[in-house]
A and B are shown apart, each in its own frame.
Chain A
């Protein structure tokens, strides 16, 4: 602010009218608060639009291939997902409570609320890590890396299964078809990757041909017929026999939850900064903009998960 002191009258006005937290180009604290809040809402709008691309991709693929989603979502654990939903909603509550504390100049309350919110965020990420780990162990990954441990994913294929793969099938089928899909069974966890590597090489070309039912050349002119092809074959109910390309579900699953996870991490960074400010006692009833804006961001992160949970975990 020393730079403005060059012009006398201006500097005087600055010192008289401006509290320390008001930047020089704003006239009043209220104007700065309103500007910050409008800016934050706009930013949240861009965040929603950022996710909307993925939601749109989800809609397109689910509309064209409902059987993939109906089948593949069963490998997600509703228990962990629901627990994470509860954790995030609770953390949103503690965040709102924190903003209320800041408005009341209640510094210890704000610090406690922020710590609780951060703990919720960390808990969410730990559970997410447990879920991801389970997916990695079973090879239930996106497109190119999709190497499911169970052979029954391709039961309908005329695929010569060797004895080892058949054993893996028998061992893993319980986990795959059980609707609650327990995440960490040590026996499966150990067997799955070993069995998964064998048939995977043979899967690759086969999947490719299934992706292109009309045997079109890659990158052929009428690419849009690829998606239409799925309909022409007239898939019936969500029977595993008719399910192809279920790795698309995992691709979308990892993109959506991964991007959301990054936002949770970003939210943790933001809230940690707010926490430092709160410990230093920077916020009070007259100035709590960072708490308010951090809270808005955290609510958005929470809100996106509330959409993700039913869309990915609760498909019927």
Chain B
């Protein structure tokens, strides 16, 4: 322990940090062929942020073309964009954000970097498979983007049959192939994480001494492994259906398009939990660390992750209430949908209890975490509206649905940025500018809320989603929504500027800037190539009493054993 404390206290200036994973091996090839989970994580993070900006750009283009209603569209002069382009933009926005950004966002980028560190391990179980995942992601993302010049596609991100088999845009098959590859990237990442958590966990770390981030990542990985293959075969069948006309989905050939919807949502609903669960894991870390308080209800949070993963498989039919399901099936799906609210609420209340009485510091990661509670709260509760059969018939395919799922999914985006800020000192060895980070966080959160709060009334008044044109009485909502989108855009750009600026101007990061007690804070920032000189001690990940703030180091350092208060003070 004592040698360990010394290593941690020395921080980045120590001899070990002189050679860190960033300086270990130079040149493009040392990155392109790396098997180091940290470098792969960094490449994922960079790629995902770039694609987030691209996807955001498409969102702004959509919002811009909705700024003014298009009067008498056939033959009329379109405002800036033609309707074909409008369809392309919203489809690309959806496909990029879902498949390229949010699904791999936290697990592949943050998880890759942090998961082995949190276990005190040297790497994930299968480093080569990990690199394969990254290249699958890269080629899938490239293919999706290239499909724009290969003919474009306008099916919406759901690729519903028969539209996706009949549309004349030639980019459908490239984008489907791209998503197919992205799916396998996701499967391999999940498989890797499950094996890593099972087999590379230190013997002293029982399941209930794992950080909650790992519970959430594990639950996510289980969904990735179990649900994504079904998406794979669905997309494969759709590709073959469009290319060769096998007649399984296409009604013109006697196929069943509702079967496609079942297959698609059997993956894509659990995928919502692939998106949200890792965010919930990060939340448990952030809230505990930035309120300097032990997480409340550890086992409830841990088990609710597993419960969400299980329930998530049983609710896909709620996307198809008006697709001609039998009433009995719809009723069962409606009931099961409500049941998912229970584990989600368990998490929310435990987080609230964690905050209660804590000494909260409003650093940028915490601002993101707190806004997630607001945003996910709204997203989750409006989900109950839509899970109610009668209400859903009215709200189905309106802007209410759009606002609902943005409040859920963008919650993940905000936590992703919270996680990026939280682990940024560990990843890059530099501190970001706190003022700039706070402004970026606040502007994007406020802008986001303006954008999508306006869409709830828009939807209840009957504005359908994906429409290029609208009646004039919807105009004011669209104007508010578009203004909010621009504000959020400015916020996100500011955030990225803040991160990039820190690489050049940021002060050197200490080993533990926030006082967290999970294992990644025990190694220098940035970590050496092999992660740890000595395996860190396995302790309660939420017991912060072993760390004290040190002005000189600019971060937290280990207390000497004599200084540590008696551990009995914690109720856990």
Within 8 A of A (CB), among B187-226: 187, 191-192, 194-195, 198-200, 225-226
* Contacts A42-B225, A222-B324; A143 near B529 (Cβ below 8 A): no
Asked if B237 and A7 sit within 8 Å, CB to CB, the answer is no
Q: Is B563 an interface residue (CB 8 A)?
A: no
Q: How many whole Å from A134's CB to the nearest CB in chain B?
A: 19
Smallest Cβ-Cβ distance to A211: which chain B residue: B254
Nearest CB in chain B: distance from A135 CB, A: 14
Taking the closest CB of chain A, its distance from the CB of B227, in whole angstroms, is 8
29 A–B pairs (Cβ distance < 8 Å), ordered by A: A25-B121, A25-B124, A25-B125, A26-B200, A31-B199, A35-B125, A35-B195, A38-B199, A39-B129, A39-B191, A46-B228, A50-B229, A50-B230, A60-B259, A61-B248, A143-B255, A144-B245, A144-B247, A210-B254, A219-B166, A226-B251, A244-B254, A245-B254, A247-B253, A248-B247, A251-B255, A255-B237, A255-B240, A259-B236
CA distance A57 to B236 in the complex (A): 13
Contacts A23-B127, A38-B195 known; A53 to B251 CB distance under 8 Å? Answer: no
A143 to chain B: closest residue by CB = B247
Task: State A254–B244 Cα separation when bound (angstroms).
Answer: 11
Instruction: Say how far B190's CB is from chain A's closest CB, in angstroms.
Output: 8
Q: Shortest distance in angstroms between B204's beta carbon and chain A's nearest beta carbon?
A: 14
Q: Mark A1-14, 1 if CB is under 8 A from B, else 0.
A: 00110110110000
Kindly state the separation between the CA atoms of A145 and B122 in the bound complex, as whole angstroms. Answer: 54
Question: Smallest distance from the beta carbon of B113 to chain A beta carbons, Å?
Answer: 15
Nearest to B196 among chain A residues (CB) is A35
Task: Convert B145-172 into 0s and 1s, putting 1 for each residue whose CB lies closer than 8 angstroms to a CB of A.
Answer: 0000000000000000011001000000
Query: B327 an interface residue at 8 Å Cβ cutoff?
Result: no
Contacts A42-B225, A53-B263, A144-B253 given; indicate if A223 touches B121 (C-beta within 8 A): no
Interchain CA distance A61-B191 in the complex, whole Å: 32
Contacts of B25 in A (CB 8 A): 3
Is there a chain B Cβ closer than 8 Å to A54's Cβ? yes
Q: Are A56 and B324 in contact (CB under 8 A)?
A: no
Contact of B391 with A by CB under 8 A: no
Name the B residues within 8 Å of A245 (CB-CB): 247, 253-254
- Closest A residue to B224 by CB, please name it: A46
Using known A-B contacts A4-B530, A46-B225, A244-B254, determine if residue A25 contacts B191 with beta carbons closer than 8 Å.
no
- Contact at A49–B251, with CB atoms within 8 Å? no
Asked if B251 contacts A45 (CB within 8 A), the reply is no
Contact assessment for B233 and A51 in the assembled complex, using a CB-CB cutoff below 8 Å = yes
Q: Which of A62-85 contact B (CB under 8 A)?
A: none
Nearest B residue (CB) for A247:
B247
Interface residues in B15-53 (C-beta closer than 8 Å to A): 16, 19, 24-25
Which residue of A has the minimal Cβ distance to B529? A3
Q: Are the C-beta atoms of A224 and B258 separated by less than 8 Å? A: yes
Number of A-B contacts (CB under 8 A): 172
Measured between alpha carbons, how far is A247 from B252 in the docked complex, in Å?
12
Contacts of B228 in A (CB 8 A): 46
Contacts of B123 in A (CB 8 A): 24-25
Given contacts A43-B191, A143-B244, A144-B244, contact A54 B233 (CB under 8 A): yes
Residues of the B chain whose Cβ atoms lie less than 8 Å from the Cβ of A226:
251, 256-257
Tell me which residues across on chain B come within 8 A of A244, comparing CB atoms: 254
Judged by a CB distance under 8 angstroms, whether B533 is at the interface is: yes
Could you say which of B24, B126, B241, B324 has the most chain A C-beta atoms within 10 Å of its C-beta?
A: B324
In A23-44, which residues have CB < 8 Å from any B CB? Answer: 23-26, 31, 34-35, 38-39, 42-43
A224 to B125, CA, bound (A): 45
Query: A57 to chain B: which residues have CB within 8 Å?
Result: 237, 248, 259, 263
For B533, what are the chain A residues with a Cβ–Cβ distance below 8 Å? 7, 9-10
- Please report which residues of chain A, range 223-257, place their CB below 8 angstroms from some CB of chain B when the two chains form the complex: 223-227, 244-245, 247-248, 251-252, 254-255
Which residue of the partner chain B has the closest CB to A226? B251
Which A residues lie within 8 Å of B245 (CB)? 142-145
Contacts of A252 in B (CB 8 A): 248
For B200, what are the chain A residues with a Cβ–Cβ distance below 8 Å?
A: 25-26, 31, 35
Asked if A197 lies at the interface with its beta carbon under 8 angstroms from chain B, I say no
Residues of B contacting A56 in the complex (Cβ-Cβ under 8 angstroms)? 263
* A42 in contact with B255 given A53-B230, A142-B246 (CB within 8 Å): no
Q: Which residues of B contact A212 (CB under 8 A)?
A: 251
A316 within 8 A of partner (CB): no
Residues of chain A within 8 A (CB-CB) of B259 are 57, 60
Interface membership of B250, Cβ < 8 A:
yes
Interface residues of B in 294-320 (CB under 8 A from A): none
CB-defined contacts of A218 to chain B, threshold 8 Å: 162, 166, 251-252
A274 to chain B, nearest CB (A): 17
In the complex the two chains form, is B258's CB within 8 Å of A208's CB?
A: no
Residues from chain A with Cβ under 8 Å of B323 in the complex: 223-224
Could you tell me the distance between the alpha carbons of A245 and B253 in the complex, rounded to whole angstroms? 8
Q: Which residue of chain B has the shortest Cβ distance to A254 in the bound complex?
A: B246
Distance between Cα atoms of A34 and B198 in the complex (Å): 10
CA A138 to CA B162, docked complex, whole Å: 29
Which residues of B sit under 8 angstroms from A211, Cβ to Cβ?
A: 251-254
Q: Indicate whether B232 reaches chain A with its CB closer than 8 angstroms.
A: yes
A12 to chain B, nearest CB (A): 13
The CB with the most chain B CB atoms within 10 A, among A7, A25, A47, is that of A25
* Residues A225 and B324 in contact in the complex (CB < 8 Å), given A43-B191, A46-B229, A145-B245: yes
